[in-house]
Structure 1
Amino acid sequence: MSGGLSTTARLALLARLSKRRSSEAPRPDAGSARDFTTLPGMRDFALLKAAMESLELRSPLFVAHDGLAGAHSSIEGREVINYASYNYLGLNGDPRVQEAARDAVSRYGTSPSGSRITSGERALHLELERELAALHGAEAALTFVSGHATNVTTIGHLMGPRDIVVHDAAIHNSCTEGIRLSGARRIPFAHNDMAAAEREMASARRGGQRAMLLVEGHYSMDGDIPDLARCVEIARRHDAWLMVDEAHSLGAIGPTGRGVAEAQGLDPAGVDLWMGTLSKTLSSCGGYIAARADVIDWLRHTVPGSVYSVGLAPPLAAAALAALRIFQAEPERVARLQANGAGLRDRLKARGFDTGASIGSAIVPVVLGSSLRTAKVAGALLERGVAVQTVVFPAVPEQSARLRFFLSSEHTEEDLDRTVEAVVAAVASVGRVEKLPGLG
């Protein structure tokens, strides 16, 4: 197959897609309010999927791993260098973490069998929350069963229809969903542009309303970080709460992995609400909020995502607690991760690749342009023994599709060298590819 799409090929593709759609049996609900294809983005998704099928291009999504996915993994029985997992410090699979989870199952079983407010506490939950709070210099913390749900339920509960949330345009979907649930006015500002954040907050702020400035500690799309001191300054000047999503920061940012406040030498007390996940550095599943004790106590008793949800499974709480203690006791893991991130970024830049604003820690993007080209390069990389995440339309605009490399402390110098050579070879094998017709 040709690396690109010529005019003739594009017309042929459109003709095939049009013929396929016209030959499909009409749905019984076509044209009615029950027609699911009227959902936003569903037609674009169908076009992208059909185009990939017509081009006999394997989807780079939902690739199945055979077992433990760390710095290396096995896909369909073949060993690969793995950059598709958030196992930042290599603790998923650590014998000490596994033993802690097994012990928790033996003592507590696999589930708390209800919400904590009704079915009772487990000592593991309280112990984990105390240590998470201490990590962020906060008075208390509360865990939830999902990182995504942590942001949705907390923001949705804190804010209301009269309020405003000024947020970085690159903020995670869980944050925007939380704002939508709250009914607050959502005001994005250009990514990492603190002057724009100041302008938006000043323009929107009115007396009698609550306001929140919402940013991430380490942005998963670009691998960069915010100017936290400016965020604190803006929030204080405009009497707003400052919330920082540290999902990708914990274990990855700062000399000992304590996040963006440590990285920039700031007092973490300047942040009102710290959010984090248990699924990345902490090798578990779930999320948490760390804040003042009175705020956390109020959330424990009222926030829907805790009151009406089962508590964190004991083996997951135990795994997170063990991983938390290990990474704090072994800061050399953090140093290796950061060296690997900088090493891969610098190698890729030296070969002419666009790695954006990545600081070179846990996340290194390679912006390739079209979704088709990105998917083809990801497939070519997998053939060469490198597994990497892709971000394509409609998650990003059609001409900013990218590969995303998530580093681990357990990657080696040889891994990095082999990876860069594989990227060079994969891109050369694919060549120039135009965007899929009808997208972007």
Structure 2
Amino acid sequence: MTQGFGLSAGARIALLQRLAKRRARQDDAGEAAAPGRAKRRGFSDLPGMRDFALMQTAVEELDIESPFFRAHNGIAGATTVIGNAEYLNFSSYNYLALNGDPRVTGAAVAAVGRYGVSPSASRLVSGERPIHHELEAAIAANYEAEAALVMVSGHATNVTVIGHLMGARDVIVHDASIHNSCTEGARLSGARRIPFAHNDWRAAEREMAAARRNAGRALLVIEGHYSMDGDVPDLARFVEIARRHDAWLMVDEAHSLGVLGETGRGIFEAQNVDPGEVDIWMGTLSKTLSGCGGFIAAGRDLIEWLRHTAPGFVYSVGLPPALGAAALESLRIMQAEPWRVRQLQHNARFFRDRARARGFDTGASEGLAIVPIITGSSVRAARLSSAMFARGVNVQPIVFPAVPEQAARLRFFISSEHTEAQLSRAVDVLADATASLSPLELHG
């Protein structure tokens, strides 16, 4: 735990000592449980296992209730039921409140009745379902692309496409805050991977210019709406960089579709950029589209190549028809009811501005769906999350190593369903929770 989660040096040393004693007890117990037998190899030397164990010890010793893996007893929208209590909810990607919409649910139920729950194998082996083609055609139309391909996992979509597209002689230049799925795909590819300072197109230009000459192919990867900070890139600038250096431009729209643009079509609509200038559009079905899976929209030649060769598609089960139907119906509703997008954008700006007015650091958030509250300490973020939960507001902390220690935060996901009264209450609760915690509780 190199950055200490905001703990003092003394507190870190004490935790390390307790962890060492705990390990010794566990080792003794393991040996006593099987006297005379060869000791089985454990997993304690796995990369990161020591930091993970220390984090768990810190949570226990500081008496911080874990905010993760809470069971929601129903649809997690603007409010949710956890246990037997209702909470204001800011931990869902249900941006346009379509997850749970009767039309979306009805489409999923009808698909189950017609096709069953699973396609039972990869689409290459078990064949297609019409819903796959309908969804892919609708996604391609949204991005004015020639074709699209849907996969069973958003994370796996980036891993398999980037990993399959690039090779050892190539270079991948990406935003330093790009999603883990993109960096995992880059690692799988064997290509040289170069991050540039977050959302800095000038830094991207410098890195691409320095690396391009000695590379075979080049890929520039950005997000349309960054999930940690809630900011957006200047898309036209990145198009220019890609064209100038003979590189492909890939834009991850996981948090953009349904959020950016007058009608939610994404960053190209919001910034009036020709979507054809982007070589590869990537997105997920699990947020605005209230399903599960990922998609690629691009030229027909790339899509056909991926359909027949990408390991994460060829060797993976196809998208369940019910999820495809839910995503397609969600996309249709988004297009037919643009008021949802306008309401979402209004709500996010309202919350961000209210929080800033109360003195909270919302970072670079554009006020589109994601508003961070920067706490500067992992312990502080965890304490505030716990205090807010006790006051009826569910919001997750984002702590090191997901973000640098000094950038630890609470991350609020806003939806079109939230009301101004709920958003104002959340800011009031945040202020009250902050005031209620002692310096010791805030800093461990």
| Alignment TM-score, normalising by the size of structure 1 | 0.94
Conserved in 1, the CA contact under 8 Å of 2:112 and 2:321?
yes
Q: Among 114, 117, 121, which residue is 2:128 paired with?
A: 121
Aligned residue number for residue 201 of structure 1: 208
Contact kept? 2:171, 2:215, Cα under 8 Å = no
Q: Which amino acid aligns with 1:84?
A: S
**1:11 to 1:312, Cα distance in 2 relative to 1, 3 A:** closer
Match of 2:49 in 1: 42
Deviation, 1:13, is: 5.0
User: How far does residue 85 in structure 1 lie from its aligned partner after superposition?
Assistant: 0.6
2:152 counterpart residue number: 145
Aligned partner letter, 2:278:
V
CA contact (8 A) 2:370 2:414 kept: yes
Listed one character per residue, the Cα deviations across residues 34-77 of structure 1 (whole Å, up to 9, x for unaligned) are 44222222111111111111222111221221111011101111
Asked whether the 8 Å contact 2:383–2:441 carries over to 1, the reply is no
Distance 1:289 1:151 in 2: 9
Match of 1:263 in 2: 270
Quick one: which of 364, 371, 396 aligns to 1:389?
Answer: 396
1:351 corresponding residue in structure 2: 358
Q: Which amino acid aligns with 1:20?
A: R
What residue is the counterpart of 2:168 in the other structure?
161
Distance 1:300 1:8, change over 3 A: closer
- 8 Å contact from structure 1 (residues 128, 320) kept in 2: yes
Taking a change above 3 Å as real, the CA distance of residues 373 and 303 of structure 1, as seen in their structure-2 partners, is: same
For the residues of structure 2 that align with 1:376 and 1:23, how far apart are their CA atoms?
A: 29
Q: How far, CA to CA, are the matches of 2:440 and 2:243 in structure 1? A: 48
Tell me which residue corresponds to 2:86: 79
Q: Deviations over 1:244-286 (max 9, x none)?
A: 0000000001111111111111100110000000000000000
Name the SS of the counterpart of 2:195 in structure 1.
strand
Secondary structure of 2:44's counterpart equals: helix
Picking from 414, 422, 425, the partner of 2:429 is: 422
Cα distance between partner residues in 2 of 1:279 and 1:178: 20
Of 96, 99, 102, which residue of structure 1 is paired with 2:103? 96
Q: Tell me if the contact between 1:380 and 1:426 (Cα under 8 Å) persists in the aligned partners.
A: yes
Q: Does 2:318 correspond to 1:311?
A: yes
Corresponding position of 1:249: 256
Q: Are the counterparts in 2 of residues 101 and 318 from structure 1 also a CA contact under 8 Å?
A: yes
Q: Any gaps of 5 or more consecutive residues in structure 1?
A: none
Question: What residue is the counterpart of 2:233 in the other structure?
Answer: 226
Which amino acid is the alignment partner of residue 387 of structure 2? Answer: A
Amino acid at match of 1:218: H
Asked if 1:25 corresponds to 2:27, the answer is yes
Aligned to 1:130: 137
Preserved contact between residue 371 and residue 435 of structure 1 (Cα < 8 Å): no
Question: C-alpha offsets along residues 293-335 of structure 1, whole Å, 9 cap, x if unaligned?
Answer: 1111111111111111111001000000000000110000000
Deviations 1:327-360 (A, max 9, x none): 1100000000000100110000001111000000
Report the 3-state secondary structure (helix = DSSP H, G, I; strand = E; otherwise coil) of the residue aligned with 1:257. coil
Tell me the alpha carbon deviations over residues 182-208 of structure 1, each in whole angstroms, 9 at most, x when there is no partner.
Answer: 000000000011111001000001266
Report the Cα distance in structure 1 between the residues aligned to 2:168 and 2:11, rounded to whole angstroms: 50
> Which amino acid in 2 is paired with 1:96?
R
Compute the displacement of 1:5 (Å).
Answer: 7.1
Gaps of 5+ in 2: 1-5
The residue correspondences of 1:403-414 to structure 2 (distance < 5 A) are 403-414=410-421
Listed one character per residue, the Cα deviations across residues 23-44 of structure 1 (whole Å, up to 9, x for unaligned) are 3334569xx9944222222111
SS, match of residue 97 in structure 2: coil
Number of residues paired by the alignment? 432
Distance 1:408 1:249 in 2: 13
Contact 1:398 1:435 in 2 (8 A): no
**Which of 57, 61, 68 is 1:54 aligned to?**
61
1:180 partnered with 2:187: yes
**Identical pairs, percent:** 66
For 2:351, give the aligned amino acid: L
TM-superposition CA deviations, 1:99-126 (whole Å, max 9, x none): 0001000100001111111111100000
Shift of 1:417: 0.8
1:93 partner letter: G
Cα 1:430–1:203 change in 2 (3 A) is same
The DSSP-based 3-state class of the residue aligned with 2:237 is: helix
Q: Distance in 1 between matches of 2:44 and 2:301?
A: 46
- 1:69 corresponds to which residue? 76
Equivalents in 2 of 1:344, 1:6: separation in Å?
33
Residue in structure 1 matched with residue 304 of structure 2 by the alignment: 297
Which residue of structure 2 lines up, in the alignment, with residue 236 of structure 1? 243
User: What is the CA–CA distance in structure 1 between the aligned matches of 2:276 and 2:383, rounded to whole Å?
Assistant: 46
Q: 2 CA distance for matches of 1:7 and 1:161?
A: 42
**Inter-partner Cα distance in structure 1 for 2:8 and 2:356:** 30
Which of 347, 370, 373 pairs up with 2:377? 370
Pairs within 5 Å for 1:332-351:
332-351=339-358
Q: Do the aligned partners of residues 35 and 10 (structure 1) sit closer, same or farther apart at CA in structure 2, a change above 3 Å counting?
A: closer
Distance 1:172 1:10 in 2: 29
Q: Does the 8 Å CA contact 1:235/1:242 hold for their aligned counterparts?
A: yes
Task: Measure the CA separation in 2 of the matches of 1:5 and 1:131.
Answer: 50
My pick for the range that moved more, 117-126 or 52-61, is 52-61
Q: Which amino acid aligns with 1:23?
A: R
